[in-house]
Amino acid sequence: MLPTEVQRILLLIGLAATGYLMILAWNDDFIQRQTPMEYRQPEPLTAAEEDAAPTVGQSSTQESDVPDASLIAGSETGSQQAPTVATAPAAGNRLVKVETPELRVWIDRSGGDIVRVELPQYPVSLDTPDVPYVLLDNGGGRIYIGQTGLIGADGVDAGGTRPLYKTNKSEYQLTGKDPLSVDFTTTVGGQVVTKRYQFLPEDYLVNLTVLVENRETRPIQASLFAQIKRDDSDPPNATKIALGPRPYIGAALTTPDSRYEKLKFDDLDDVPSYRIAVTGGWMAFLEHYFLSAWVANEDEQNNFYGQKRKDGTYVFGYTGPLKTVAPGEVGTWTTRFYAGPKDQKRLEKIAPNLNLTVDYGFLWWLAVPLFHLLYWLHGFVGNWGVAIILLTVMVKAVLYPLSAASYRSMANMRRVGPQMKRLQERYADDRQKLSQEMMNLYKKEQVNPLGGCLPMLLPMPIFIALYWVLYESVELRQAPFFGWIHDLSVMDPFFILPLLMGGSMYLTQLMSPAVGDPMQVRMMKLMPIMFTVLFLFFPAGLVLYWLVNNVLGIAQQYYVMKQTERAQAAKA
């Protein structure tokens, strides 16, 4: 018969192993099952379906996507009456596909709107490398599209109707280093309208130019609108089970009063609309790691808006100033559309403050330099996990002087530990007297009982800031480390790093003196277990940081405490 203590240890080991296997099974059943299925390809429309699409001069029973004339920036527009149709495009496939190494874009010839965007450089998951991430889509229960047009007294999209454009081909592909231009043309009354999309090599930015040749005998006036139409659903790949903060899903813009202002769905549920005048500016829609954004001309006064539509969808966009085109002249309106990853360096070059859409929270001032340092380290070692380890070493080196002072305080607390235990036994029934005697002991021995807490508190802001760096930075999405860690941005699939981290916390606790009453001591002993359970669901990169931080802290603590003990022995 085994001794009782051995039986207890074996029972605890068995329970721990059973719990570990249950968590693995739960992870397989409830988390990995959420991997999205392959996305469908857009199906071409039949001629009958195309004929049913609204064209200029036709009415539609559905609510119009086109903003009304009151949203035009800085000008009176007069009536909002659509011009009459001069020609009608032939029936055929309404969707035009444009492919570059970075983008696959489908544009609807009804209105010339962007209705689908795939990102082939960013697969949905590591298990499906050939299935690209779908950012924009208009089907399968999702509505997320980018729309542009001309409104105003003579705008071809005025009155809520959309022109039907013609193109030379239904598929285009960018090859080489030269930009690819795709023209969508139509004739409306005395206006020849061309929507020209320009796709750039090795870029996620698309330039859009709208050209209107005025063949009428009078001047015409129009204003450009650019907007994102979306429902309030989560992206199909969104993580449903998470203990940490969820990524922001909603719109954002820059304003004269705020470099980065969020415009949430809830903000538009109880108000007619959101409006603000901005010189230049941009309107973006954010989700985890990716965004889409309309970027206005920096030298123009634009009117940005957000609205909830009657069908439950939302529109976020802007209108430019009203422009007049004389007879025989060609009017030009321009904007830019970005659809891709939250690449801070690229976004910073596109427009002021657009890089702030990489939202690091209230500790952004600490997270931004941490990211740049991490990015710099990755440039040397070529592995994000190794870069995290090197970053942890550098942070611990910077904080070492403060940590050393705290560890010396902990060594002094261990030295007076036997005296504290005798006081606790002597005044076990008189807590007030015990507190007085302990304070006298601290004063006599020049010991600070709170000094040992500093090593735990100092890394916390860095920990929180690095959490958002690892969680928000697309550079770490699906970034491998070594062995079983294939993606540092998600949790460890076998929970090995969290268990090692919990063991390091337990070892740190054994090296630290027990401070406080017995109840507090027991609570502190539960901390490694609580943190281990919490860290099971944290990104592997973050757990790696905390594990390395603990290991370095143990080494530093052992070194400083031994130094302090030797100094005390020599003094005695």
> In the 8-state DSSP scheme, what is residue 29?
I
Mean pLDDT of all residues belonging to the chain? 81
pLDDT value of residue 54: 38
Give the containing element (helix H, strand E) for 477: none
Find the largest Cα–Cα distance for the chain.
107
Residue 62 has pLDDT above 70, yes or no: no
Comparing 58 with 474, the larger pLDDT belongs to 474
Measured in whole angstroms, how far is the alpha carbon of residue 468 from the centre of its chain?
9
3-class secondary structure for 232-249? CCCCCCCCCCCCCCCCCC
Q: Are residues 384 and 348 in the same domain?
A: no
Comparing 446 with 107, the larger pLDDT belongs to 107
Q: Are residues 315 and 404 in the same domain?
A: no
Find out whether 394 and 373 touch, Cβ atoms under 8 Å: yes
Predicted confidence band of residue 90 (pLDDT cuts 50, 70, 90) = very low
Residues 6+ apart with CB under 8 A from 285: 144, 228, 230, 250, 251, 252, 291, 292, 293, 316
| Number of independent structural domains in the chain | 2
pLDDT value of residue 528: 85
pLDDT value of residue 297: 94
Q: Are residues 415 and 479 in the same domain?
A: yes
pLDDT value of residue 70: 77
Residue 566 has pLDDT above 90, yes or no: no
Pick from 63-77, 110-124, 143-157, 191-205: least confident: 63-77
The count of C-alpha atoms lying within 13 angstroms of the C-alpha of 59, restricted to the half-sphere facing its C-beta, is 2
Residue 418 has pLDDT above 80, yes or no: no
Q: Select from 294, 326, 359 the last residue of a domain.
A: 359
pLDDT value of residue 42: 44
Cβ count near 437 (within 10 Å)? 18
Q: Is residue 274 part of a domain?
A: yes
From the DSSP assignment, how many helices (H) and strands (E) are in the chain? 12, 19
Distance between CA atoms of residues 466 and 551, nearest Å = 18
- Return the top range by mean pLDDT from 33-42, 113-122, 417-426, 521-530: 113-122
Predicted confidence band of residue 19 (pLDDT cuts 50, 70, 90) = low
Mean pLDDT across the stretch 95-111?
A: 95
Q: Is residue 15 part of a domain?
A: no
Predicted confidence band of residue 32 (pLDDT cuts 50, 70, 90) = very low
Give the containing element (helix H, strand E) for 454: helix 454-457
Q: Select from 359, 386, 408 the last residue of a domain.
A: 359
Q: Are residues 378 and 348 in the same domain?
A: no
pLDDT value of residue 395: 87
Q: Is residue 57 part of a domain?
A: yes
Cβ count near 484 (within 10 Å)? 12
pTM exceeds 0.75, yes or no: yes
pLDDT value of residue 79: 39
pLDDT value of residue 58: 37
Antiparallel, parallel or unpaired: β 191-199 and 205-214: antiparallel
Sign of the C-alpha dihedral, residues 561, 566, 567, 569? positive
Residues 6+ apart with CB under 8 A from 1: none
Q: How would DSSP label each residue in 355-373? A: GGGS--GGGHHHHHHHHHH
Predicted confidence band of residue 141 (pLDDT cuts 50, 70, 90) = confident
pLDDT value of residue 83: 40
One-letter amino acid for residue 408 of the chain: R
Residue 23 has pLDDT above 50, yes or no: yes
One-letter amino acid for residue 426 of the chain: R
Q: Are residues 263 and 394 in the same domain?
A: no
Q: Is residue 24 part of a domain?
A: no
Residue 173 has pLDDT above 80, yes or no: yes
Q: Are residues 355 and 399 in the same domain?
A: no
Q: Which two tokens stand for residue 561?
A: 């405490």
- Give per-residue pLDDT as tens, 242-293: 455 678 899 999 999 999 999 999 999 888 889 999 999 999 999 999 999 9
Predicted confidence band of residue 518 (pLDDT cuts 50, 70, 90) = low
CATH of the domain at 181: 2.70.98.90
Predicted confidence band of residue 340 (pLDDT cuts 50, 70, 90) = very high
Predicted confidence band of residue 198 (pLDDT cuts 50, 70, 90) = very high
Predicted confidence band of residue 35 (pLDDT cuts 50, 70, 90) = very low
Residue 45 has pLDDT above 60, yes or no: no
Predicted confidence band of residue 71 (pLDDT cuts 50, 70, 90) = confident
Closest C-alpha to 386, from 399, 377, 376? 377
Q: Are residues 346 and 374 in the same domain?
A: no
Residue 487 has pLDDT above 80, yes or no: yes
pLDDT value of residue 517: 57
Give all strands (DSSP E) within 272-405, no chain letters: 274-279, 282-287, 290-295, 301-308, 314-319, 323-325, 330-341
pLDDT value of residue 24: 56
Residue 356 has pLDDT above 90, yes or no: yes
Distance between CA atoms of residues 229 and 401, nearest Å = 53
Residue 187 has pLDDT above 90, yes or no: yes
pLDDT value of residue 37: 39
- Give per-residue pLDDT as tens, 224-239: 999 999 999 888 876 5
Q: Is residue 553 part of a domain?
A: yes
Closest C-alpha to 213, from 156, 280, 275, 297? 156
Antiparallel, parallel or unpaired: β 205-214 and 330-341: antiparallel
Comparing 7 with 447, the larger pLDDT belongs to 447
- Return the top range by mean pLDDT from 32-46, 159-173, 396-410: 159-173
Q: Are residues 326 and 265 in the same domain?
A: yes
Residue 31 has pLDDT above 80, yes or no: no
Residues 6+ apart with CB under 8 A from 7: none
Percent residues over pLDDT 90 in the chain = 46
Residue 43 has pLDDT above 70, yes or no: no
566-569 long-range contacts (CB < 8 A, ≥24 apart) are 568/411, 568/415
Distance between CA atoms of residues 18 and 411, nearest Å = 38
Q: Are residues 279 and 147 in the same domain?
A: yes
Q: Are residues 158 and 52 in the same domain?
A: yes
Q: Are residues 512 and 537 in the same domain?
A: yes
Q: Is residue 28 part of a domain?
A: no
Residue 185 has pLDDT above 70, yes or no: yes
Residue 40 has pLDDT above 50, yes or no: no
Q: Select from 322, 341, 359 the last residue of a domain.
A: 359
Q: Are residues 350 and 448 in the same domain?
A: no
Based on C-alpha coordinates, what's the Rg of the chain? 31
Distance between CA atoms of residues 313 and 306, nearest Å = 11
Give strand pairing partners of 293.
Answer: 284, 338
CA dihedral 129, 130, 133, 137 (to 10 degrees): -160
Find out whether 488 and 439 touch, Cβ atoms under 8 Å: no
Q: Which two tokens stand for residue 350?
A: 């596109």
Give strand pairing partners of 208.
Answer: 197, 335
Q: Is residue 21 part of a domain?
A: no
Residues 6+ apart with CB under 8 A from 233: 141, 142
pLDDT value of residue 28: 55
Cα end-to-end span (Å), the chain:
50
Residue 240 has pLDDT above 80, yes or no: no
Give the containing element (helix H, strand E) for 115: strand 113-125
Task: Find the domain containing 449 and state its range.
Answer: 368-571
Q: Is residue 278 part of a domain?
A: yes
